[in-house]
Amino acid sequence: MMVDYPILHGTDGIRGKVSASPETDLEALQAITEKREVNGRAFMIIGEAIGQILAEELDDYPKVVIGWDRRPGNAMLVSGLTDGLHSSSVRVIHGGIVATPGLHDAVLGTKADAGLMVTASHNPHTDSGVKFFDANGRKSMPALERKIADIAWEIAEKGVNPEPDPESCLPDRMIHAERGHRSTLAKRLENMAQSLNVDVEKSNWSEILGVEQFLLDSSGGAASSWFAAGLNRRGIPAKEVSNAENPLNEGCGAGEFSPTASWTWSEMMSSEHVLLKSLAELHTSKPPIGALLGAALDGDGDRCLLIEATGDGACVIDGDRMADDIARAWDSIGIQKATMAFSIETDLSLTSTINRFGMEIDILECAVGDRWLSNQLSNEVIVSKSWPALIGAEDSGHLVLASPHPEIVDEWSLVGDGAATLIVQLLVRATLFDNEKIVPSFQRGWKKRVSIKGTDRSKWTGDGELADSIENIINNHFIDEQCSFTRKKIDGETSLLLLRGHVNGIAVSIGIRNSGTEEKTSLSIRAIEAIDGLNDLSESIIAFLTKELVHSSSSDS
């Protein structure tokens, strides 16, 4: 009889607050599923499970490279993974502190059979976790995560409960993965600049950006010590504002920004976010509307959001707009065909106005998470002599683009990289600057996203009585309007209620899904244009879900 073991992974890896290891293996895994806590003993089990899977598939001594960010609890987790992998006869390479996309490069560069990135992305520095990469540098998919969980629970149920072996916690080899990442970024800049016909060092960047100095916020992550300096060497006037001596992600980075956020100058001056406050202090005389003021990466460096000047302050330029700008640049230089993948939270106005372009664009839709973007764009190794016209985008700032293989000429992989996203956005700005061949950008539609914190996610499945009640709330809200909605399924979204339809002829999408990384459930409402009553509908749905899913009411807009 098959046992339905609890899954350990969320939307993007395993995450939780770092805690001390309990005495037994079962308690260690239960801490992940019941308390959202990670510990060294659990990671020993997970490492052993991954090692068993690799050994079974390869019938050899597999090779795994591990990288990590600078969270205080990571040494224990890395040691646990290393010990567990060694117990399954896996060779282990330590890559050191590196951005998540740098771990992707390290897997390819070392010809490893898998990679493990110890991070919790934009979560607080007290959290950590692990992301799994296969031999092609692709993030794990649900089938593998199900297998990892099953084997891990089977190991735990044996009740052996071994203590870590100090010798087994040491790697077989060490590399400088971040150095490899920087080398790949330099190559990517060269490839993208050549494709977009931009001479980086001869460009007038102050004129292109609209400001004399561009501020960069790397969340105190790996890029904070070298990225701005690399841009300056190429003539791009950048200054890093985050500090690697402060806790990762604290008061900085993309993790604290919403894709639809905007601020006045006075709000920025009083903000506790280092990038916003630094921008307000820098620009005592206000920059022109549309000037590119700065950018924020997240803690593990795989996403990026831009900050642009408005009439009375600044706003976020999200992943939707960044993807559209890349497509506009490609269209202007004569690219004939492109493929663009978007998640279910993409602006409807973007995907509905593709006829703006002269080039042919294939639009794909997928679940939330950059692994699904990569999966939609290509499951094969990409071979091309020039930068492939592929974009995967989420409004949160995850952009998946083609990246040159670190070892093999004309071979490309797909990866989300915040530093590469910023580089291409700078190059795109140069391409779009004073260019009469540019098609107009899309006009942002109406969008609202609300996260209800502290939910019991087991109560929300995307179907059943609660989902029926949500549909009734929506239909009753628009009872006096011409309204029609149908449910749609998306591969990979196990808890999603997605309703697509029209209100008085205007396209509307309403989605509710559990977070895969935190105890919260999110509502996303999108429309091609504003419709009276959407805010009221949002409040009605949130009130209902809070009552049904949260023991003590707490919601966060």
Exposed, middle or buried, 494 (CB in 10 Å: 0-12/13-18/19+)? middle
Q: Is residue 377 part of a domain?
A: yes
Token pair 């992989």: residue: 413
Lowest mean pLDDT among 285-294, 429-438, 499-508, 513-522: 513-522
> For the residues 526-546, what does the mean pLDDT come to?
95
What percent of the chain is modeled with pLDDT above 70?
98
pLDDT at residue 11, rounded to an integer: 78
CATH number of the CATH domain containing 489: 3.30.310.50
In angstroms, rounded to a whole number, what is the distance separating the alpha carbons of residues 61 and 50?
A: 13
Q: Is residue 439 part of a domain?
A: no
pLDDT at residue 381, rounded to an integer: 86
pLDDT tens-digit readout, 141-153: 999 999 999 999 9
Shared domain check, 405 and 480:
no
Q: Write the single-letter amino acid at 483.
A: C
pLDDT at residue 555, rounded to an integer: 43
Total H helices, total E strands in the chain: 16, 25
pLDDT tens-digit readout, 87-122: 999 999 999 999 999 999 999 999 999 999 999 999
Q: Is residue 6 part of a domain?
A: no
Shared domain check, 103 and 77:
yes
> For the residues 293-300, what does the mean pLDDT come to?
97
Q: In what side-by-side order are the strands of the sheet with 14-18?
A: 37-38, 14-18, 127-134, 114-118, 63-68, 91-97, 173-174
pLDDT tens-digit readout, 157-179: 999 999 999 999 999 999 999 99
pLDDT tens-digit readout, 448-488: 989 999 999 889 999 999 999 999 999 999 999 999 999 99
Shared domain check, 148 and 227:
no
Confidence check: pLDDT of 517 > 70 = no
Closest CA to 506 of 479, 534, 487, 547: 534
Confidence check: pLDDT of 391 > 60 = yes
Confidence check: pLDDT of 551 > 80 = no
CATH number of the CATH domain containing 418: 3.40.120.10
Q: What are phi and psi of 91, to 5 degrees?
A: -80, 135
Shared domain check, 20 and 75:
yes
Shared domain check, 379 and 270:
yes
Number of separate domains in the chain: 3
pLDDT band at 2 (very low <50, low <70, confident <90, very high): low
Closest CA to 425 of 322, 510, 334: 322
pLDDT band at 434 (very low <50, low <70, confident <90, very high): confident
Residue where a domain terminates, one of 432, 461, 494: 432
Closest CA to 187 of 425, 375, 408: 408
Q: Which helix (H) or strand (E) holds 469?
A: helix 464-477
> For the residues 417-436, what does the mean pLDDT come to?
96
Distances (CA, A) of 504 to 70, 347, 485, 508, 529: 51, 19, 12, 10, 11
Shared domain check, 260 and 169:
no
Closest CA to 101 of 124, 117, 120, 78: 117
pLDDT at residue 552, rounded to an integer: 58
Shared domain check, 274 and 229:
yes
Q: Is residue 311 part of a domain?
A: yes
pLDDT at residue 436, rounded to an integer: 84
pLDDT top residue among 59 and 28: 28
pLDDT at residue 380, rounded to an integer: 84
Confidence check: pLDDT of 554 > 70 = no
Q: Is residue 437 part of a domain?
A: no
Shared domain check, 53 and 18:
yes
Residue where a domain terminates, one of 432, 460, 476: 432
Shared domain check, 316 and 452:
no
**Domain enclosing residue 55, as ranges:** 14-175
pLDDT band at 494 (very low <50, low <70, confident <90, very high): confident
Shared domain check, 29 and 108:
yes
pLDDT tens-digit readout, 187-218: 999 999 999 999 999 999 999 999 999 999 99
> For the residues 512-540, what does the mean pLDDT come to?
91
Q: What share of the chain is helix, strand, coil (3-state, %, to 5)?
A: 35, 25, 40
pLDDT band at 557 (very low <50, low <70, confident <90, very high): very low
Q: Is residue 441 part of a domain?
A: no
Shared domain check, 186 and 167:
no
pLDDT at residue 4, rounded to an integer: 81
pLDDT at residue 492, rounded to an integer: 87
Confidence check: pLDDT of 344 > 50 = yes
Q: Is residue 39 part of a domain?
A: yes
pLDDT band at 330 (very low <50, low <70, confident <90, very high): very high
Residue where a domain terminates, one of 377, 408, 432: 432
C-beta of residue 64 within 8 angstroms of C-beta of residue 116: yes
In angstroms, rounded to a whole number, what is the distance separating the alpha carbons of residues 238 and 227?
A: 9
Shared domain check, 186 and 170:
no
Q: Is residue 7 part of a domain?
A: no
pLDDT tens-digit readout, 44-88: 999 999 999 999 998 788 999 999 999 999 999 999 999 999 999
